[in-house]
Structure 1
Amino acid sequence: MEEEVQGGSDNIATEYGTYEEFLDSQITSLDLYYLEDEELARQLVELGYRGSGEVLKREEFEARKAAAEASRVSKRSQQKTLASSGKEIKDPFLRSLAEREEKNRSGKMTSIIFIRDKNSRGQEISGYIDYAHRLKSEDFEPYFSCKKKLLPRPSDLSFYNWETQTSTSNPTPNYQVMAENASGLLFKNKRDRKTLNVDPKASSPGDNSTRTVIETPKYQQVVVYDHTTRRKT
């Protein structure tokens, strides 16, 4: 019942531009005939003596009006959160990231990106990137606009500089790194505890996981591992 009342209140806030319009909507021609004063009629509606609708004080109306506007702005903002939205993307790798962006942002999927390429110093580097984590901690618009090149960093899940032999590994909100393992490098999903095996020779990357090789002229090697988390119902 309370939800129904709240829903009606929200409608009131969005339907009427001003508090006066809301009051006027409850004044009948008969009220004006007997009272002969529009302002007095509004006051009686505000006090609850006239009108057939909900009694709503000016402060309540303004508060609900502000809440409705905030909700509208929030929804518009959410619709624009996709950094790839509205962009003409030709590169196969960036296109694959765009296809996965919404699912990684919403938590339906957690993708791990393996990249092998050269950094700005010409050194060969490779690493595994938690795509969902990077999306939340970094603006990807420059990547989808080709203003920046996505490369692994020492702060990512796993990173290796082949020239300096610098090696790092870090847990993220989505994955735990299991480096010292007989099966090679493994990543354990923190949500469903499933293990993702990134060994290309493995028969399968793991339960609910897929391995996709992306051919792109901009990188030496790119492989994307997608893990779908099964939600409990």
Structure 2
Amino acid sequence: MDEEVTSGSDNIVTEFNTYEDFLDSQITSLDLYYLEDEELARQLVELGYRGSGEVLKREEFEARKAAAEASRLSKRSQQKTLASSGKEPKDPFLRALAQREEANRSGKMTTLIFIRDKNSRGQEISGYIDYAHRLKTEDFEPYFVGKKRLLPRPSDLSFFNWETQTSASNPTPNYQVIAENATGLLFKNKRDRKILNVDPKAGTPGDNSMRTPVESKKYTQIVIYDHITRRKT
């Protein structure tokens, strides 16, 4: 019952710009004929003596109006934060990034992206990118509209230039790099401390993790590692 009342009130505050407009909607021409005073007619509606609709005090109307506006702005802001919003990329890799954007921004998921391809100098490079971290530090709209190509950098989790033999590794807010390990490169999630094993020969990348190779004509090799983060209870 309460939910029905709330829903009805929400419809009221979105339909009418002011409280006076709401009151006027319940005043009939017959009311004005007998009362001969618009302000008095409004007062009677507010007190519940006139009008067939819901009785809503000015304070409640204003509060619900403010809440409805805040909700509208929140939804609008959320849509703006998604760089993939409104985009329909044809490339499988960009589609995969778009599908994971909201989850990585909200913290439900932390995705690592392995990319191997050539840089602008024609040198083969490879590395692991913390997608959630990149989303917070970089505008991804140019990637989703095809103006830029996502490539690993020396500032990412892991980077290697095969021609110059230059390598680099850096921790991010989400992952710690474990480089000196007999089984190969490992990443520890800082939130739940789970280990992500990116060795393709490993039976599984780890708890709550999934390995997904992605075919794209624009890249030599792409592998996506999704890790579902779970809060400790």
What TM-score comes out, normalization by structure 1 length?
Answer: 0.79
**1:208 partner letter:** N
Q: Deviation per CA, 1:153-209, whole angstroms, max 9, x where unpaired?
A: 122111223344433222222212222233322111122211001122323211122
> CA shift at 1:16, angstroms?
2.0
Structural RMSD (CA): 3.3
Is the deviation greater in 140-149 or in 160-169?
Answer: 160-169
Structure 2 counterpart of 1:108: 108
C-alpha distance in 1, partners of 2:85/2:159?
29
> CA shift at 1:18, angstroms?
2.1
Number of residue equivalences: 230
Query: CA separation of 1:161/1:43 partners in 2, compared to 1, >3 Å: closer, same or farther?
Result: same
Query: CA separation of 1:232/1:11 partners in 2, compared to 1, >3 Å: closer, same or farther?
Result: farther
Structure 2 counterpart of 1:123: 123
Q: Deviation per CA, 1:23-61, whole angstroms, max 9, x where unpaired?
A: 324657786455321123335666x5966823315xx75
CA contact (8 A) 1:19 1:61 kept: yes
C-alpha distance in 1, partners of 2:205/2:125?
23
C-alpha distance in 1, partners of 2:118/2:158?
16
Structure 2 counterpart of 1:55: 57
The answer for unaligned runs of 5 or more in structure 2 is none
> CA shift at 1:143, angstroms?
1.2
**2:57 partner letter:** V
Structure 1 counterpart of 2:96: 96
Q: Secondary structure at the match of 1:100?
A: helix
C-alpha distance in 1, partners of 2:45/2:171?
61
Is 1:42 the counterpart of 2:42? The answer is: yes
**1:148 partner letter:** K
Q: Secondary structure at the match of 1:41?
A: helix
Q: Percent identity at matched positions?
A: 81
What TM-score comes out, normalization by structure 2 length?
Answer: 0.79
Is 1:18 the counterpart of 2:27? The answer is: no
**2:180 partner letter:** E
Q: Deviation per CA, 1:52-103, whole angstroms, max 9, x where unpaired?
A: 823315xx75564344223213224424544334444332322322333333
C-alpha distance in 2, partners of 1:71/1:163?
52
CA contact (8 A) 1:205 1:211 kept: yes
